Amino acid sequence: MAVALRWLRPVPSLLLRSLFPVTRAVPAAPTRCPALLLEGCSQCVHQVLLSRQLATKKAKGKGQSQAKVNISAALVEDIINLEETNEDMQAVVEALKEDFSRNISVRTSPGALDHITVVTKDGKFPLNQLGQISQKSPQLIIVNMTNFPESTAAAMKAIRESGMNLNPEVDGTMIRVPVPKVTREHRENLVKLAKQSTNKSKEALRKVRSKSISQVKKSKSKVSEDTIWMLEKQIQQMADEAVAEMDKLLAAKTKELLG
């Protein structure tokens, strides 16, 4: 034993530390750590980097989707209002839903013509503000333009170009709109119109997403790169969910139209 102790005595302390490493416990980051938004929190940054690596690996896996990010809106309210962004995206979805309900139907009704936009020299107006719309028979809708006779030609053009497969005829200040027969061709044309409306809504959604991401990027000098990355991912997730909802609406409307 004495020989062993004499052998160990001259060994430098640094060598002993390398032979017998000491493992220190790393304290856990606090829940919803606001320091995530700062460059100085190494624990949070490490966790974010690890999450990013795991998400990337999942994306490269066998058809697995990336892990979702769920940032507390309160922690990033100085950068962007996520709730407002989500509301703007949902407003686009609701507008598409209303368009499907009001304008795209197998049976053309007087209400379907109400909000056709008429371009006049005084501006743009819904058709029902310029003319009185009524249904004379199941096969005929009448638009009475007596109050604004000067807008009759513009109303005719708006009805014809509405995408509803309508061919109006004018009789003085009265516009006669024959209701199309419900043929297979008519149903397929309505489906095409529904797809066009969906594509327009998706374009509007992309504008909301791009605007939000641009706003986030303006804060690059204030917050960490990982925070920017997480916010962009969160906004993309919100947009993807809205697109998925639009696709469901289009699928349901297509099924309804084709019968």
In a domain, 6, yes or no: no
Question: How would you label 172-194 residue by residue, b for 16+ Cβ within 10 Å and e otherwise?
Answer: ebebebebbeeeeebeebbbebb
Residues 248 and 153 in one domain: no
Q: Specify the DSSP class assigned to residue 167.
A: -
Task: Say what the pTM is.
Answer: 0.62
Q: Check residues 185 and 43 and name the one with the higher pLDDT.
A: 185
DSSP bridge partners of 117: 126
Is the pLDDT at 59 greater than 80, yes or no?
no
Residue 117 forms part of a structural domain: yes
The residue from 122, 151, 178 where one domain ends is 178
Given a cut of 90, whether residue 97 has pLDDT beyond it is: yes
Task: For residue 79, report the phi and psi dihedrals to the nearest 5 degrees.
Answer: -100, -50
Q: HSE on the CB side for 157, CA within 13 Å?
A: 7
CATH number at residue 157: 3.30.1360.40
Backbone angles phi, psi at 70, to 5 degrees: -135, 95
Could you tell me if 132 and 249 lie in one domain? no
Please write down the long-range contacts of 17-20, taking CB distance under 8 Å and 24 or more positions apart. none
User: pLDDT value at position 259?
Assistant: 77
**Does residue 79 share a domain with residue 206?**
yes
Residue 19 confidence (pLDDT) above 60: no
Please tell me whether residues 119 and 217 are part of one structural domain: no
pLDDT band at 91 (very low <50, low <70, confident <90, very high): very high
Q: How confident is the model at residue 56 (pLDDT cuts 50, 70, 90)?
A: very low
pLDDT at 235 over 50: yes
In a domain, 25, yes or no: no
Domain count, the chain: 2
The mean pLDDT value for 151-166 works out to 90
Domain that holds residue 145: 110-178
Q: Average pLDDT of the chain?
A: 78
Last-in-domain residue among 127, 157, 178: 178
- Check if the beta carbon of residue 249 is closer than 8 Å to that of residue 198: yes
* Domain end position, chosen among 152, 178, 204: 178
Share of the chain above pLDDT 70, in %: 73
Mean pLDDT lowest among 63-72, 135-144, 213-222, 240-249: 63-72
